[in-house]
Amino acid sequence: MEHTDILDLFKDPKKFIGKNVKVCGWVRTSSEVKPMTFIQLNDGTTSLRNLQLTINADSYSQDEYKDKIKPALSIGTSLYAQGTIVASERNIIELEISDLKVLGECPLEYPLQKKKTSMEFLRTIPHLRTRTNFFKSVLSVRARLAYAIHTYFSERGYKYLQAPIITNSDCEGAGEMFRLTTKPWNATSKSEEEYNASDYFTCKAGLSVSCQLEGEMAALGGLGKIYTFGPSFRAEHSDTPKHVAEFWHVEPEVCFVDLKEIIAIAEDFIKYILNDAVNNCKEELEFFDKFVEKGLIDKLHHVINSSFAIVDYTDAIEVLKNSGQKFEYPVSWGIDLQTEHERYLTEVVHKKPVFLINFPKDIKAFYMKQNPDGKTVAATDLLVPGIGEIIGCSERETDLAKLEQAIKVRNMNIEDYTKYLDTRRFGTVQHSGFGLGFDRLVMYATGVSNIRDVIQFPRTYKHIY
């Protein structure tokens, strides 16, 4: 259907004034102030800015108005409109209608009427909530952040790797994988081995919790610098505002760099993509600053212009223990920090993002490089105010014997990691990488406090929206 995007009309409004144009979209609101009728139309190319359609009711007979205009006034109805663009002091431009057609009628039971609606209710209609200002703005920022991520890595010589989602190894070694099978619910077997042998892949298979291992194999396999950007799956029983079962994951792997260098890359990366959003999503971020998180834009500028702190895990534990703060979860060396601890460090102590480094090896993944002290690993988490952890990062272990021992200590099947271990046997090099939870980044950039509200169709513990 020949038409002009509403975004294009507002990009260069003077170009269209006095010209006849055709537009399509959904009715956001309408009003009748005789003899004029007004419709706010949005086609999805803009998050917040609608095109006002202006209709002179005196141009129609009573029957014509009833048959042609009235059906076009219901919220949610899709329209085709043709007319002349005119200048407007209030709306920049408007469309004076010469022709109007209903493309899709919308009955009165349409759930998105002109009234305040709760986030809880909107989660029950994820297929429709994308028509609201809030979700159009969220998904517009999300799209821009994704674009910036690809741009950042592409401009710096990284290869974009499409790693497999189906795997037979648990990258994190935490046993939180979703099992994958084609066998019926009532399948019986004498043993797990027999069950797996008769399944589709003839082995235990699941959905990937991370593409890191495949990313490492590609980088060490001769590509040098790669990144993956796709879905990961975690079957942990966490029903919190920060956890979903299916999330999007950004994972670069870089050869010939140590922990200090990958930290510098991660900081530059975060600043680049947030700066891109600030420059290219101004209307959306102003909306979030006004209605979601006061001071959001200042917060983002502060991050972009700050030097991130680098703090040793052991030192952070002492700060927390001596803070005088009453935490829900007690603090001691060796614990995996909780969100309350992370936020205290970023919001109270340092007031900016913090790289926490040198974690106890027992709470980190098997592939992280062991430090000379034998107790910690060359790993870091990037903690940001308001969210907590947003990036997990480490230098990777290159010592084959240490890596094999780490796998065995965690009772992981070493045979599942033969190809991965080959990268240490055949010309290994120092290398590092990180994983960014993309959905949490969207939360941070928009101020949205629940991860369910930055994804179109979230999958959470006990629930598929």
Co-location of 25 and 167 in the same domain = no
- Under DSSP, is residue 149 helix (H, G, I), strand (E, B) or coil? helix
Angle (CA) 414 179 185, round 5°: 135
Co-location of 186 and 313 in the same domain = yes
What are the backbone angles phi and psi of residue 312, rounded to the nearest 5°? -70, 140
Co-location of 10 and 137 in the same domain = no
d(CA 348, CA 460): 31
d(CA 199, CA 207): 15
- Under DSSP, is residue 131 helix (H, G, I), strand (E, B) or coil? helix
Do the domain assignments include residue 120? no
- 391 in Cβ contact with 266 (< 8 Å): yes
Do the domain assignments include residue 1? no
CATH of the domain at 451: 3.30.930.10
Max intra-chain CA distance, the chain? 88
| pLDDT number for residue 169 | 79
Of residues 158, 163, 201, 230, the one with CA closest to residue 420:
163
Do the domain assignments include residue 98? yes
| pLDDT number for residue 173 | 58
Helices (H) and strands (E) in the chain, counts: 15, 17
d(CA 96, CA 441): 42
State which amino acid sits at residue 284.
Answer: E
Co-location of 305 and 188 in the same domain = yes
> Which of the listed residues 85, 114, 143 is the one where a domain comes to its end?
114
What residues make up the domain containing 72?
6-114
> Which of the listed residues 114, 149, 164 is the one where a domain comes to its end?
114
Co-location of 314 and 177 in the same domain = yes
Q: Are strands 20-33 and 51-56 parallel, antiparallel or unpaired?
A: unpaired
Number of CB atoms found within 10 A of residue 12's CB: 8
Do the domain assignments include residue 397? yes
- 37 in Cβ contact with 57 (< 8 Å): yes
Angle, in degrees to the nearest 10, between helices 438-446 and 133-155 = 120
Co-location of 73 and 162 in the same domain = no
Co-location of 277 and 315 in the same domain = yes
Number of domains in the chain: 2
Per-residue DSSP letters for 232-249?
Answer: EE------STT--SEEEE
Co-location of 108 and 200 in the same domain = no
| pLDDT number for residue 308 | 97
d(CA 120, CA 452): 10
DSSP letter at 70 equals: G
| pLDDT number for residue 1 | 83
Average confidence (pLDDT) over 70-83: 97
Do the domain assignments include residue 390? yes
| pLDDT number for residue 242 | 87
What number of residues does the chain have? Answer: 465
pLDDT tens column, 274-286:
999 999 999 999 9
CA atoms within 13 A on the CB side of 333: 10
Do the domain assignments include residue 389? yes
Co-location of 446 and 300 in the same domain = yes
Average confidence (pLDDT) over 350-372: 96
| pLDDT number for residue 387 | 81
Residue 44 pairs in a beta bridge with none
d(CA 11, CA 173): 51
Q: Which two tokens stand for residue 420?
A: 């991965």
Co-location of 249 and 379 in the same domain = yes
- 391 in Cβ contact with 383 (< 8 Å): no
> Which of the listed residues 59, 80, 114 is the one where a domain comes to its end?
114
Do the domain assignments include residue 123? no
Do the domain assignments include residue 125? no
| pLDDT number for residue 385 | 86
216, pLDDT greater than 90? yes
Residue 384 pairs in a beta bridge with 388
Q: Are strands 78-88 and 92-104 parallel, antiparallel or unpaired?
A: antiparallel
3-state helix, strand, coil in the chain (%, to 5): 35, 25, 40
Co-location of 159 and 290 in the same domain = yes
End-to-end, the C-alpha distance of the chain in Å comes to 32
Please return the burial class of 114, using the count of CB atoms within 10 Å of its CB with bins 0-12, 13-18 and 19+. exposed
Co-location of 326 and 417 in the same domain = yes
pLDDT tens column, 331-357:
999 999 999 999 999 999 999 999 999
| pLDDT number for residue 101 | 96
CATH of the domain at 96: 2.40.50.140
172, pLDDT greater than 70? no
- Under DSSP, is residue 344 helix (H, G, I), strand (E, B) or coil? helix
d(CA 401, CA 425): 10
